[in-house]
Amino acid sequence: MARLVIVSNRVALPDDRAARAGGLAVALTEALSRQGGVWFGWSGEIVEQPSEEPRLAAQGNVTYATLDIAAADHDAFYVGYANSILWPLFHYRLGLIDYRQASLAGYLAMNERFARALLPLLQPDDLVWIHDYHFIPMAAALRRLGSTHHLGFFLHIPFPAPEVLSALPDHERLVSDLCAYDLVGLQTEGDVRALSDYLTQEARGLLHSDGMVSAFGQRTRVQAFPIGIDTDHFARLAASATRRKDSQRLRDSLLGRTLMIGVDRLDYSKGLPKRMEAYQELLARRPEHRSRVVYMQVAPISRGEVPEYKRLRRELEGMAGRINGKYAELDWMPVRYLNKSFARHALAGFYRASRVGIVTPARDGMNLVAKEYVAAQDPDDPGALVLSRFAGAARELDAALLVNPVDVERVADALHAALAMPAEERKARWARMMAVLRARDVAFWRESYLAALAHARDTGWGGIRALLGRLGVGGAARAAPL
């Protein structure tokens, strides 16, 4: 079995319990310990003089390799290009893009630096799986250094339509770099369509009947792999969490009222202001819910250094305050707004205690919260999910109440419908969603991706490149005709 090398911005180090608790981290750690390999990425540290050599830590057959970065590089690469240009662009928020050429230069330079540090750690037959928008140019950087490895990429966020993507200066370069991978994994068929449309319309590429795409003088496979969660484990966690202190404390505090829950990183893609508006609309139009429901929004602060996130935080504090100011009673607070994170088991218990899960992002690659909410429910008395049609998860969870999050009146109607939904309907919808989540859990996602990557190495251009690599003529591989 080939060794596995994972590259991601943050590495779930063995001593970081919080980072290792999430379903994705667990799934990747499992594959690493089965196949042996390396997890490589940023240490999370910003230092004055970062070393070019990664810091290594080993646990069993897995090596964790991390690089520190300098403050200026962090500003250009992470805050600047990744989170102030690519994140808003890929989430269709063109107005929020803060484009600077220095950010692009910093992004490319960091990818080169990470590629240079990674290459000496690689063995010829490794499967290299690179994650997310921070590292789109990593394969191209590795190839320039002579790598003939089989390189796979997975994008966790949406892939934008060609008209949106082409608003990015240097978009051709970004997509050309993406084509240096042997396999490009995206969340949904819609994302695959968007990238394929770009390649054929903007880059005069060709789609082949075997699912391969050729463009920019390269050949790659583009395929959808909707990410899942560890469904059965999360369901067990939620069932056992009901006996834990946090869940009991929450239930006691409700005094018999019905709980609705939202759990999101504090991010403008998650549609939080519109969600608050919809809740306010529900209270305004349906007075029967006043004093009877509580909306709890867990929103841990993220990317606090990006100005747009600071603005969003102030906006939400104002909105929650206004709703509470207008509707609160002596013994009832309509919104509980919590800018903090909770342990995973506590969260599982909160989902289970909630009659309604509200997941209304403006755009989301997948949205794991929607899946976790469903998995956490009591099969005998499940809650109802209100879900944005713009979350990747809406493709699989079509038994949820699907909404357009900008249409606050209809979202308010959907919240009402969820609160009023008879038990039989809740059970039927839940059973349909749970069947999908069981069949397509995170292990299924990981195994399908790795099988496709291994296949890409054995067939097509990937196989030829590997052969050239073994013969020691790797550097020439990229220039060969298709």
Catalytic residues: 156, 364
Question: In the chain, what is the greatest distance between 2 CA atoms, to the nearest angstrom?
Answer: 78
Site for ligand GDG in 137-176 (CB under 6 A): 156-157
Q: Tell me the closest approach of the beta carbon of residue 366 to ligand GDG, in angstroms.
A: 3
CA separation, residue 452 to residues 25, 183, 458 (Å) = 20, 8, 10
Q: Tell me the closest approach of the beta carbon of residue 146 to ligand GDG, in angstroms.
A: 31
Q: Which stretch binds ligand GDG (CB under 6 A): 52-60, 316-324, 360-368, 463-471?
A: 360-368
Answer yes or no: are the C-beta atoms of 449 and 129 closer than 8 Å: yes
Closest CB to ligand GDG among residues 199, 368: 368
Q: Which amino acid is at 246?
A: D
Q: Where are the alpha helices (H) located in 220-306, listed in sequence order?
A: 231-241, 245-254, 272-285
Burial 445-455 (b: 16+ CB within 10 A, else e): bbebbbebbbb
Q: Which stretch binds ligand GDG (CB under 6 A): 55-63, 100-108, 340-348, 444-452?
A: 340-348
Closest CB to ligand GDG among residues 124, 300: 300
Closest CB to ligand GDG among residues 106, 361: 361
Q: Which stretch binds ligand GDG (CB under 6 A): 74-82, 279-287, 362-370, 465-473?
A: 362-370
Binding mask 13-52 for ligand GDG (x = CB under 6 A): ---------x------------------------------
DSSP assignment of 390-421, as one string? Answer: TBGGGTT-TTSEEE-TT-HHHHHHHHHHHHH-
* Residue 473 CB partners (closer than 8 Å, separation 6+): none
Q: Which amino acid is at 300?
A: P
Residue in 92, 332, 342, 444 binding ligand GDG, rule: CB under 6 A: 342
Distance CA 312, CA 302 (A): 11
* Residue 173 CB partners (closer than 8 Å, separation 6+): none
Q: Tell me the closest approach of the beta carbon of residue 454 to ligand GDG, in angstroms.
A: 21
Distance CA 354, CA 96 (A): 34
Distance CA 470, CA 466 (A): 6
Site for ligand GDG in 366-425 (CB under 6 A): 366-369, 372
Q: Which stretch binds ligand GDG (CB under 6 A): 174-182, 338-346, 428-436, 463-471?
A: 338-346
* Residue 413 CB partners (closer than 8 Å, separation 6+): none
Site for ligand GDG in 214-273 (CB under 6 A): 227, 263, 265
Closest CB to ligand GDG among residues 182, 364: 364
Answer yes or no: are the C-beta atoms of 319 and 294 closer than 8 Å: no
Place of tokens 């990015």: 168
Binding mask 294-313 for ligand GDG (x = CB under 6 A): ----x-x-------------
Confirm or reject binding of residue 69 to ligand GDG (CB under 6 A). Answer: no
Confirm or reject binding of residue 349 to ligand GDG (CB under 6 A). Answer: no
* β-pair type (4-10, 150-154): unpaired
Closest CB to ligand GDG among residues 115, 227: 227
Closest CB to ligand GDG among residues 366, 401: 366
Distance CA 14, CA 16 (A): 6
Q: Tell me the closest approach of the beta carbon of residue 309 to ligand GDG, in angstroms.
A: 13
Q: Which stretch binds ligand GDG (CB under 6 A): 32-40, 143-151, 196-204, 343-351?
A: 343-351
Binding site for ligand GDG (CB under 6 A): 22, 156-157, 227, 263, 265, 298, 300, 341-344, 347, 364-369, 372
